[in-house]
């Protein structure tokens, strides 16, 4: 990835240790065991001898194999005079202490420098995210017959993950959420050993990873008749989502978009039950910038990939969330997930 980063003025280089950023700058697929020294004149990937072959094959920047037991002194020969910036969010205090004592140069904490470059996706990145979303759509079709009364949430989640892995996902994007009935009121109810019962809504939130890039989608389906109230909640959430889809375009801020969807839900009296933000960016991380919430001043730009995921969660009763993954285009957004989202009774 040829990224041009905006370093703080005083800094001559940035030591990149946050794994997603290491992968972004180098293409190295074991980024937790590597780090990148970003310099405007050319960057280097450092990793250890276990990865000699893999790093040479994958890295788009120069590779140097180092011995982690020998500390960080090796960095000195690659540094000009000046200040070395580091990623405060990608560094333990212990590691920072070690770097400071090995290098004895001025260090400067930064955050979000590489993330700023990652905000707008390249064509190749969009293709990988779209491929992961397509696979998730196919996974959704595959899993529908498994969602029935008596089936355990965990078995549904495992079947879905197994199918995605068998069909090209290198990993599950996160621990899948399968939340049925009253558990649907848990926005982050990862699959449990609860059995799905007739008349319940089931929320599935899942995604695939392809070459490091994630997808993220949620659908809520009914097993038989879920009753009038939950059906009404479903219609409200679907309308909030549709409002967000229509409002999303370059120039709109994260908070404006969040408000557009939230207002629809609030007008129906469920405002207190939409307890999370409207959406988030997706890429090398499942949750990344831009974050779309009431405090977000990020302005949408063409090439960003975002989720729109309104939800209503009624404590001890159940919940509904529908989540789309979308690319911000010149005039609006293009949905990357295509699974039907009309109210569906299985």
- Of 90 and 281, CB closest to Zn ion: 281
Is the CB of residue 120 less than 8 Å from the CB of residue 301?
yes
Query: Whole-number minimum distance, CB 216 to Zn ion, in Å?
Result: 4
258 scored as a contact of Zn ion (CB under 5 A): no
Closer to Zn ion by CB, 89 or 188: give it.
188
> Closest approach of Cβ 310 to Zn ion, in Å?
11
Query: Does 216 participate in binding Zn ion (rule CB under 5 A)?
Result: yes
CB of 285 to Zn ion, least distance (A): 11
Count the Cβ atoms, other than its own, within 10 Å of residue 335: 15
Burial 70-109 (b: 16+ CB within 10 A, else e): eebeebeebbeeebbbbbeebbeeeeeeebeeebebebee
In which region does residue 19 sit, left (phi positive, over 0), alpha (psi from -120 to 50) or beta (all else)?
A: alpha
Of 13-21, 39-47, 121-129, 315-323: span binding Zn ion (CB under 5 A)? 315-323
- Which parts of 85-144 interact with Zn ion (CB under 5 A)? none
56-64, 90-98, 156-164, 212-220 -> range binding Zn ion (CB under 5 A): 212-220
Which listed range, 50-58, 67-75, 120-128, 204-212, lies at the site for Zn ion (CB under 5 A)?
A: 204-212
Tokens linked to 159:
């079947």
Q: What is the C-alpha to C-alpha distance for residues 227 and 314, in angstroms, rounded to an integer?
A: 14
Reading the block at residue 106, the tokens are 């001025």
Q: Measured from the CB atom, is 59 or 215 closer to Zn ion?
A: 215
Closest listed residue to residue 275, CA positions, set 303, 236, 315, 242: 315
Residues 218-257 that bind Zn ion (CB under 5 A): 218
Of the candidate residues 87, 205, 285, 324, the single one contacting Zn ion (CB under 5 A): 205
Least distance (Å) between residue 218 CB and Zn ion: 5
Distance (Å, rounded) from C-alpha 201 to C-alpha 311? Answer: 13
Residue with smaller CB distance to Zn ion, 180 or 307: 307
- Closest to Zn ion by CB, 7 or 300: 300
**Residue among 34 and 283 whose Cβ is closer to Zn ion:** 283
CB 311 within 8 A of CB 320: yes
Q: How many residues of this chain bind Zn ion (CB under 5 A)?
A: 5
Confirm if 182 and 143 have CB atoms less than 8 A apart.
Answer: no
DSSP assignment of 206-223, as one string? E-EEETTEE--EEEEEES
Q: How far is the CB of 177 from Zn ion (least distance, A)?
A: 7
User: Which two tokens mark 175?
Assistant: 């621990």
285 in contact with Zn ion (CB under 5 A): no
Q: Rounded CA gap, 87 and 24, in Å?
A: 14
The C-alpha atoms of residue 214 and residue 292 are separated, in whole angstroms, by 18
| Window contacting Zn ion (CB under 5 A); options: 134-142, 187-195, 215-223, 260-268 | 215-223
Distance in Å, CB of 290 to Zn ion, minimum: 13
Single residue of 298, 307, 337, 339 touching Zn ion by CB under 5 A: 307
**What's phi and psi for 235, nearest 5 deg?**
-65, -35
Task: Name which of 87 and 324 has its Cβ closer to Zn ion.
Answer: 324
Q: Which is nearer to Zn ion, 34 or 187 (CB)?
A: 187
Nearest CA-CA partner of 293 in 306, 309, 277 = 277
- Least distance in Å: CB of 316 to Zn ion? 23
| Nearer of residues 87 and 205 to Zn ion, judged by Cβ | 205
Binding site for Zn ion (CB under 5 A): 205, 216, 218, 307, 323
């Amino acid at each position: 990835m040829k990224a041009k980063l905006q370093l703080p003025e005083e800094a001559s280089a940035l030591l990149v240790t946050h794994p997603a950023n290491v992968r972004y700058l180098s293409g190295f697929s074991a980024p937790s065991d590597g780090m990148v020294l970003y310099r405007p004149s050319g960057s280097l990937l450092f990793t250890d001898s276990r990865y000699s072959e893999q790093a040479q094959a994958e890295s788009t920047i120069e590779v140097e194999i180092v011995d982690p037991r020998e500390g960080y002194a090796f960095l000195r020969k690659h540094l000009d005079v000046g200040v070395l910036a580091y990623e405060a969010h990608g560094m333990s205090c212990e590691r920072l202490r070690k770097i400071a004592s090995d290098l004895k140069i001025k260090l400067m904490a930064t955050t979000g420098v590489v993330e700023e470059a990652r905000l707008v996706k390249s064509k190749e990145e969009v293709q990988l995210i779209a491929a992961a979303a397509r696979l998730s759509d196919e996974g959704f079709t595959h899993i529908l017959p498994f969602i029935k009364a008596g089936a355990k949430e965990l078995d549904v989640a495992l079947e879905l993950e197994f199918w995605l892995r068998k069909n090209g996902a290198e990993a599950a994007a996160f621990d899948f959420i399968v939340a049925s009935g009253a558990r649907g009121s848990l926005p982050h109810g990862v699959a449990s050993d609860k059995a799905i019962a007739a008349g319940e809504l089931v929320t599935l939130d899942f995604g695939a990873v392809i070459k490091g890039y994630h997808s993220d989608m949620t659908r809520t389906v009914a097993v038989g008749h879920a009753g009038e109230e939950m059906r009404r909640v479903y219609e409200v959430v679907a309308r909030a989502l549709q409002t967000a889809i229509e409002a999303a375009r370059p120039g709109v801020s994260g908070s404006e978009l969040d408000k557009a969807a939230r207002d629809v839900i609030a007008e129906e009296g469920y405002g207190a039950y939409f307890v999370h933000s409207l959406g988030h960016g997706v890429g090398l991380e499942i949750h990344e910038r831009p974050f779309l919430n009431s405090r977000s001043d990020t302005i949408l730009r063409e090439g960003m990939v975002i989720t729109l995921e309104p939800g209503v969660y009624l404590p001890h009763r159940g919940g509904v969330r529908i989540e789309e993954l979308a690319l911000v285009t010149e005039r609006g957004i293009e949905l990357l997930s295509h699974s039907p989202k009309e109210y569906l009774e299985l």
